[in-house]
Amino acid sequence: MIRCKKPLFLLLLLPTLIKCSVAGDLISVRVQDSFNLSAYFGSYTLCEAVKLCHDMGQGILSRDALSAIRAGSEFRDAVGNGHNWWIGLVDALNERNTSRDGWMWIEDGTYTNATEGDPIFFSKEPDNRKGSNGEDCAAIDSSYIYAFDDICVSKYNALCYTSDGDTVPPALISGSIFVSFTKALILTYSQLHPGCSIDVSLPNMTLLACLGKCLAIPHSDCVGLYWNSARRQCILLPYFDAAVQLDYGTNEEKLLWEKFLKK
């Protein structure tokens, strides 16, 4: 599928500057002599984009890589204007609205800070426009390199990177083999699933089996899980911490929900 439409007059005037990319295309571009970007044209959800990057031994776009893209024109020159790219920035834990704080970078777990100088979002973003589903994931527009929020299941291109500063690609930094889980506070029970969480419940499942399912996700990508011993329900959190909808019949059942995060 052709994914870029250029006005005809531009095609006639600037034939060498027009890049029309096709789904499945990969454009590799080095920016600011320190980041190697892999720009995958295609229709990916945010979760699929993160998985693609990690399977390729790369990270999904980080704060530093985004700053490097902004500092020069290499990225825009390489991929062309008018495309949308997922970046590794989510607010699926509890913010879920128009606040610019509380957005977490997937690759290093740091939070954005609205008071910082370099704005990440377009001036009217994030707007959480698709209200009830929540716009918990962020993408950039390649014409302006500013971000907007969207529901995580929208389909955009994937933007992955490696950095010369990293001794190993971000995706391959696996935790210690002695993984421990710590109990975490459940912030809300009613948030709809943002996109990446997976319910892997089985009849007669045990907590140990649920923890094992988390450890079995490739690249150490499962950050934690929700578990309910009465319901035998096990909901994994691949890629990032998130609030999800936790069902219960009675108050006792509600109190049995536990959350564990990998340390």
Which residues of this chain interact with ligand NAG, rule CB under 6 A? 36, 95, 97-99, 113, 115-116, 162-164, 203-204
Query: 236 vs 82, 86, 198, 203, CA distance in Å?
Result: 35, 22, 5, 16
- Rg of the chain over Cα atoms, rounded to whole angstroms, equals 20
Type of residue found at 19: K
Which of 18, 19, 6, 56 is CA-nearest to residue 36? 56
**Considering beta carbons, is residue 47 or 138 the nearer one to ligand NAG?**
138
Q: Is the dihedral of CA 172, 154, 146, 119 positive or negative?
A: negative
Instruction: Report, in Å, the least distance between residue 82 CB and ligand NAG.
Output: 26
β-strand partners of 238: 222
Of 259 and 262, the one with the shorter C-beta distance to ligand NAG is 259
Residue closer to ligand NAG by CB (options 21, 112) is 112
- Cβ of residue 162: shortest distance to ligand NAG, in angstroms? 4
Among residues 50 and 93, whose Cβ is nearest to ligand NAG? Answer: 93
Task: Give the residue with the Cβ less far from ligand NAG, 116 or 247.
Answer: 116
Paired with 177 in beta bridges are none
Which two three-digit tokens encode residue 98?
Answer: 């128009």
Nearer to ligand NAG, 180 or 206 (CB): 206
Tokens representing 150 are 């969207």
CB closer to ligand NAG, 167 vs 251: 167
Structure tokens at 89: 């920035």
State CA 65 to chain mean position distance: 14
Q: Tell me the closest approach of the beta carbon of residue 36 to ligand NAG, in angstroms.
A: 4
Q: How far is the CB of 92 from ligand NAG (least distance, A)?
A: 13
Looking only at the bridges linking them, the beta strands covering 156-163 and 84-90 are: parallel
Question: In angstroms, what is the minimal distance from the CB of 263 to ligand NAG?
Answer: 22
Residue 6 CB, shortest distance to ligand NAG, in Å, is 28
3-class SS of residue 10: helix
- Nearest Cα residue to 244 out of 229, 263, 259, 261: 259
- To ligand NAG, the closest distance from the beta carbon of 120 in angstroms equals 13
3-state secondary structure of 119: coil
